[in-house]
Amino acid sequence: MKSSCNRAKRAHRFRLLLQDDVIIIQRASFSECLAIPRAAISSVEGSSSTADEPIRSSLNIAVEDIKTFSPLHGRILGFDAIYGIFWLLRGPYLALVSESKVISNNEIHKEIRQVMKLELLLIAAYQNEAPLTPEKELDESRYLEMLTTNIDKLQLHFSFESDLTHSLQRISELMPPTSPVSQDDNYAAIAERADRRFCWNYVHCAPFFERKLYKWITPMMQGFIEVTESIRVNGTTFKMIFISRRSCRRPGTRFTMRGIDAEGNVANFVETEQICIFQDGRRTSFLQIRGSLPFHWSSPVNMKYVPPVYQRNKIEKDVEAFRKHAYELMQLYGRVILINLIDKRRHELQLGNTLTKVIGAAANQDSHILANIRLVWFDFHQECRKMRYQNLVRLIQLVDDDFRNYGFFCRDADGTVAQTQSGVVRTNCMDNLDRTNVVQSLFGRRSLLIQLNEMDALQGDVLNTVFYDFENVFKHVWGNHADAISRMYAGTGALKTDFTRTGRRTKLGVFMDVYNSFLRYILNNFMDGYRQDVLDLLLGKYVVSRHAPSPFTSSQETVESVLKKVLGLTGVMLGYEIMTSSAALFEHLGRAIMWTALICFIYLFILMKKGHTYGERLVRLPRFRPRDGCTTQWKD
């Protein structure tokens, strides 16, 4: 009871005064406040909108002296951060982080919080617009539900004192050591320089960015964060911080978002930073990245267990998109080893061959790509078949010289940058999850051993070291990391995490892989379309419009329609039983249910094996942007 009272009394960073004509936002220790008028607002240039030009308005956000407003009347709310402004059917809503929890408090990033609850407040209604129809009212309630339900599952993190969107090396390049700055300036600098790839609320904070109200903006990052306790290896004591940043440029779920877009953004792009804080004051950072195969491809669900894969007929557009992707990687990370872990058989072989052609064509056209991008195709399943994971040493041997040359970032205790990381390993498999997790953990361990100058350990087992306590902590964190990234993309924990956590495969681990694979099948076919819609709405990829048709109407099958057909089939079988047998009614019903179940099972088996056009009607595809990510044909 006492702890719950303490939570209730926790001081919020922000306070909001909600009055009839204005919204006042105050921030602790600030002498100024934000004032947002609540008067009815007009659409852009006073014109009505169309489906292609949805209603938008310019909000009047002003900075005022805090003494100007009286708190004598109005509703007072405490909240932790401003998420941004959403433009829905009624008008603009102010989105507030009303609940959050501390997940870390470390020497570098200070206090890091996770978003637990969003609350949306209507700022003002549109004027000169007809009232919402009952259908639009229902749509509005659905939008609000999508933005506020299960927001804690999205793993959105923020910090007031530090920049979570940048690595230590990028921060050192953007802000070299200088004289101390004020707290206000620090708040502003964090938002102003935030990496847009990882700032999930950037679009919805546009009204604040336009007015340079940086110190009121709190960048939100989706990803994984964990801080370990102190670890000791051969007399060296250090603490590890793991941060994975998930890109918001091509967000999505496993089968609804694949490949690359025309701007060079890939699905499931994640930057993983492994930070070490040493007892002597040194701080090191090692970066790895992952991302979908960098060309246009898709595999939309249709009830088949392994959905068919679609690609472009010609690779010219693929090469163009890959060049943009490659140049961004080279600009941000330096040289790149692109490790491709997919199989050299069946549909994965076709994808691997396309990747080889695309990179080869790009390298032939561009000497910079030829000099700085290296492709290594390592068939993980073939090399490690029958649980021979020790064969991963072959992959290490293929890339070790370049890997060591790339190095890591190191800053001494006095703030001097001793060395920087000059290249990066980019790993992918089909989903950039299970095989990728295993391989990235190997490179993470190897980099750390180099930092510790443990040359003997580097020559030994690539899957393990003799440092028992270190291995326990390292494998536990990488297992947590694998599960977290997998849940964001596939909906379940990762496969093969028994190996990531213990260094070997177990019977329980194999059983859990079977369970998670079945669960992924259910989620990917019947839930991921909705999850994709939530992400598109949350990130502003989908623009709500009053004059566009409702996106919630669909010709796809629903649970209710399927149940009606099953009940109808049961009725037919029951009638057949009654006409052909003189048994009791209860026995007739039992047989009818048995035959119905058998027919449904056979049909489900056929759908899982072959897929079908009816299977495409059964699954839940995205409704807000149905073609982006689920494309089966491209215009070459």
The last residue of a domain, from among 156, 185, 212: 156
Q: Total domain count for the chain?
A: 3
Q: Out of 69-73, 290-294, 355-359, which region has the weakest mean confidence (pLDDT)? A: 69-73
Question: Do 484 and 579 reside in the same domain of the chain?
Answer: no
Question: Do 614 and 523 reside in the same domain of the chain?
Answer: no
DSSP 96: E
The verdict on residue 110 lying in a domain is: yes
264-316 tens-digit pLDDT = 999 999 999 999 999 999 999 999 999 999 999 999 988 888 888 999 999 99
Q: What is the pLDDT of residue 111?
A: 93
Distance between CA atoms of residues 233 and 463, nearest Å: 17
User: Checking DSSP bridges between strand 283-290 and strand 423-428, what pairing results, if any?
Assistant: parallel
Which residues contact residue 193 at a Cβ distance below 8 angstroms, ignoring those fewer than 6 apart?
163, 166, 174, 175
The verdict on residue 205 lying in a domain is: no
What backbone torsions phi and psi does residue 543 show, to the nearest 5 degrees? -105, 120
Question: Do 430 and 343 reside in the same domain of the chain?
Answer: yes
The last residue of a domain, from among 156, 179, 194: 156
Question: Do 476 and 577 reside in the same domain of the chain?
Answer: no
Question: Do 569 and 519 reside in the same domain of the chain?
Answer: no
Q: What is the pLDDT of residue 505?
A: 77
Question: Do 441 and 519 reside in the same domain of the chain?
Answer: yes
The last residue of a domain, from among 509, 538, 567: 538
Reported confidence tier of residue 590, pLDDT bands at 50, 70, 90: low
Average pLDDT estimate for 110-127:
93
> Which tokens belong to 282?
């040194």
Question: Do 337 and 234 reside in the same domain of the chain?
Answer: yes
The verdict on residue 88 lying in a domain is: yes
Residue 55 pLDDT > 70: no
The conformational region for residue 322 under phi > 0 = left, psi -120 to 50 = alpha, else beta, is: alpha
3-state helix, strand and coil shares in percent for the chain, rounded to the nearest 5: 40, 20, 40
Q: What is the pLDDT of residue 550?
A: 92
The conformational region for residue 101 under phi > 0 = left, psi -120 to 50 = alpha, else beta, is: beta
Q: What is the pLDDT of residue 220?
A: 98
Query: By C-alpha distance, which of 247, 161, 235 is closest to 200?
Result: 247
The verdict on residue 348 lying in a domain is: yes
> Which range marks the domain in which residue 320 is found?
228-538
Q: What is the pLDDT of residue 85?
A: 96
The verdict on residue 582 lying in a domain is: yes
Using an 8 Å Cβ cutoff, are 430 and 446 in contact? no
Reported confidence tier of residue 47, pLDDT bands at 50, 70, 90: very low
Sign of CA dihedral 431, 434, 439, 443: positive
Over pLDDT 70: what percentage of the chain?
A: 83
The verdict on residue 92 lying in a domain is: yes
Average pLDDT estimate for 179-189:
64
Q: What is the mean pLDDT of the chain?
A: 86
451-468 tens-digit pLDDT = 998 767 677 677 778 888
CB atoms within 10 A of CB 185: 13
Q: What is the length of the chain?
A: 636
The conformational region for residue 128 under phi > 0 = left, psi -120 to 50 = alpha, else beta, is: left
Residue 250 pLDDT > 90: yes
Q: In DSSP terms, which residues pair with 297 in a beta bridge? A: 311
Q: How far is C-alpha 119 from the geometric centre of its chain's CA atoms?
A: 21
CA angle 354, 360, 365 (to 5 degrees): 130
500-540 tens-digit pLDDT = 787 777 888 888 888 888 889 888 988 899 999 999 999 99
Using an 8 Å Cβ cutoff, are 304 and 608 in contact? yes
Average pLDDT estimate for 438-457:
89
Question: Do 504 and 597 reside in the same domain of the chain?
Answer: no
Reported confidence tier of residue 46, pLDDT bands at 50, 70, 90: very low
Q: Which residue has the higher pLDDT, 2 or 584?
A: 584
Residue 357 pLDDT > 80: yes
The verdict on residue 214 lying in a domain is: no
Question: Do 384 and 510 reside in the same domain of the chain?
Answer: yes
3-class secondary structure, 562: helix
Reported confidence tier of residue 146, pLDDT bands at 50, 70, 90: very high
Residue 179 pLDDT > 50: no
Reported confidence tier of residue 101, pLDDT bands at 50, 70, 90: very high
Q: Out of 3-7, 217-221, 432-436, 540-544, which region has the weakest mean confidence (pLDDT)? A: 3-7
Question: Do 269 and 149 reside in the same domain of the chain?
Answer: no
Question: Do 105 and 232 reside in the same domain of the chain?
Answer: no
The conformational region for residue 475 under phi > 0 = left, psi -120 to 50 = alpha, else beta, is: alpha
380-428 tens-digit pLDDT = 999 999 888 899 999 999 999 999 999 999 999 999 999 999 999 999 9
Query: By C-alpha distance, which of 531, 533, 529 is closest to 557?
Result: 529
3-class secondary structure, 90: coil
Distance between CA atoms of residues 93 and 89, nearest Å: 10
Question: Do 31 and 121 reside in the same domain of the chain?
Answer: yes
> Which tokens belong to 98?
């009303």
Task: Report the chain's C-alpha Rg in angstroms.
Answer: 27
Q: Out of 521-525, 597-601, 603-607, which region has the weakest mean confidence (pLDDT)? A: 603-607
Buried b or exposed e, range 538-571, using 16+ CB within 10 angstroms: bbbbbebbbeeeebeeeeebeeeeeeeeeeebbe
DSSP 504-536: S--HHHHHHHHHHHHHHHHHHHHTHHHHHHHHH
The verdict on residue 234 lying in a domain is: yes
